[in-house]
Amino acid sequence: MGHRVSQPPDGQADAVTISDLLATVQLDPDANMTFQVFDLLRDLIVGVKLQPGQRVSEKEIAAALCASKTPVREALIRLDEINLVKIVPQSGTYVTGISVRRYTTACFIRLQLEIGAVRGAASAPDPRHRVDELEAVLARQRDALAADDAADFFALDEDFHRHLFVLSGYGDVWTTARRTQFDLNRARHIRRLHRILRGPEVIEEHSAIVAAIRARDPDGAEAALRAHIGDLDRQVGVLFTDERLHGLIELPTAPR
């Protein structure tokens, strides 16, 4: 019998097995199998389709993907190295809880990198790109909010922040930044699943960032970004005291 994936308390989705999650996936036989399995499982974990505390079976994953156990085992080892799963000898492999320490570290890294991005976008934007592209993403995000499409709103939020790096001329930094954001993004997905949303505020804050960039005001762009990221930090902090999420969040241990 497949291991069940725990679901958010709001009951919006029926429980599914790992096999179900991978049922439509076909691996490319000409590409590296370990990398493909790693990418699949990472995305399922970061998207909270595999939730903190969920046991993941090497055998079940291999069977679902019609793959040998070796690339699955290697993928799980890589996931353990980046703290998305914990391999427990004689017990199994489990999706890790969201660490407050890793989350706050991710917030710090994100803030520092995005400060550089918005200042660059406001003072010396990449001539290959235009502020209009950023505004187009914001317009689509407004539409997603109006349609109450939380999943699309989240995806467009990611796209908005990616465009800040693109406009600054450092689009490659976005890829690097994302490697540090796993726990931050898991927390944000949990917010979405629990409908802990701040859509109108996000639109207003994004609009302030765009306005400062268009005005070629790097100081204003940085201030708008600090207000946005800082507020995100405070809002996601609510997750760590919400009793519904105590099984998903690694709460800080009290000092001895």
Q: Is the domain covering 99-244 a CATH 1.10.10.10 domain?
A: no
| pLDDT at site 4 | 35
Assign 168 a pLDDT band (cuts: 50, 70, 90): very high
Tokens 């914001």 locate to 138
Task: Report yes or no: 18 and 24 within 8 Å, Cβ to Cβ.
Answer: no
| pLDDT at site 232 | 58
Assign 245 a pLDDT band (cuts: 50, 70, 90): low
- Stretch 115-129: mean pLDDT, rounded? 93
Task: Report yes or no: 8 and 194 within 8 Å, Cβ to Cβ.
Answer: yes
CA–CA separation, 111 vs 246, rounded Å?
Answer: 27
| pLDDT at site 250 | 74
Residue 251 CB neighbour total at 10 angstroms: 13
Task: Dump pLDDT digits (tens) for 64-99.
Answer: 999 999 999 999 999 999 999 999 998 999 999 888
Give the angle 104-39-111 at the CA atoms, nearest 5°: 25
Assign 178 a pLDDT band (cuts: 50, 70, 90): confident
Assign 2 a pLDDT band (cuts: 50, 70, 90): very low
195 or 27: whose pLDDT is higher?
Answer: 27
Q: Where are the domains of the chain?
A: 18-96, 99-244
| pLDDT at site 28 | 92
pLDDT more than 90, % of the chain: 55
Assign 11 a pLDDT band (cuts: 50, 70, 90): very low
Selection from 235, 243, 234, 208 nearest residue 222 by Cα: 208
106 or 163: whose pLDDT is higher?
Answer: 163
Length reported for the chain: 256
Q: In the Cβ-directed half-sphere of 30, how many Cα atoms lie within 13 Å? A: 0
pLDDT at 194 over 80: no
| pLDDT at site 3 | 35
CA–CA separation, 33 vs 12, rounded Å?
Answer: 33
Task: Dump pLDDT digits (tens) for 127-160.
Answer: 889 999 999 999 999 999 999 888 899 889 999 9
Non-local CB neighbours of 201 within 8 Å, separated by 6+ positions: 231
18-96: what fold? Arc Repressor Mutant, subunit A (1.10.10)
Selection from 199, 200, 222 nearest residue 209 by Cα: 222
Q: In the Cβ-directed half-sphere of 70, how many Cα atoms lie within 13 Å? A: 2
Alpha carbon separation from 73 to 14, 67, 113, 128, 204 (Å, rounded): 28, 11, 34, 43, 45
H or E stretch covering 93: strand 92-95
Assign 165 a pLDDT band (cuts: 50, 70, 90): very high
pLDDT at 183 over 80: yes
| pLDDT at site 10 | 39
Task: Dump pLDDT digits (tens) for 34-45.
Answer: 999 999 999 999
| pLDDT at site 134 | 95
Order of all β-strands in the sheet with 85-88: 55-56, 92-95, 85-88
| pLDDT at site 14 | 43
Helix (H, G, I), strand (E, B) or coil at 196: coil
Least confident of 18-27, 182-191, 196-205: 182-191
- Specify which residues 86 forms β-bridges with: 94
